[in-house]
Amino acid sequence: METAYIKTPLGIARIEGDEDGISVISVVDQGETSSAIPPVLTEAVTQLYDYFDGKRNDFNFPINPAGTEFQQKVWKGLLEIPFGKTMSYLELSKKLGDVKAIRAVASANGKNPLWIVVPCHRVIGADGSLTGYAGGLWRKKWLLEHENPLKQQCLF
């Protein structure tokens, strides 16, 4: 397993992966960045930089997150939430076929090991509130604004 640390506007991102794909992307508040990026992580690093620079709306490098069958199902559902859009936990539970699984869906969402790439930040409360986010609500707010910035309308 290879590891790299890169600077992002939201902190230092830790990226782990191997020839089977990227298995972990997480964020920490501070730390050292990598002086060299392992070749197996280069594409993920490039695409993350492009995302933060506003040049990328999706990711297409191989991913390989470890999780239960149910967690994998939820993470796959998260991948279907379009860039710049949000979905409530209830809507996601319905989409996955079991409205009663809302707590389990929320739990799986919170255990997502691929920060930003599997967009758990796009899941909000049914009332539109920014609920729970492992990286901190300020990061969730930043990501949602980054993906859907308010555009000033012309007054004339």
Q: What is the full DSSP assignment across 102-143?
A: HHHHHHHHHT-SBTTTS-GGGEE-TTS-----TT-HHHHHHH
Q: 148 in helix, strand or coil? A: coil
Is the sign of the CA dihedral 8, 72, 149, 42 positive or negative?
positive
Closest C-alpha to 36, from 58, 15, 60: 15
The residues annotated as belonging to the active site are 120
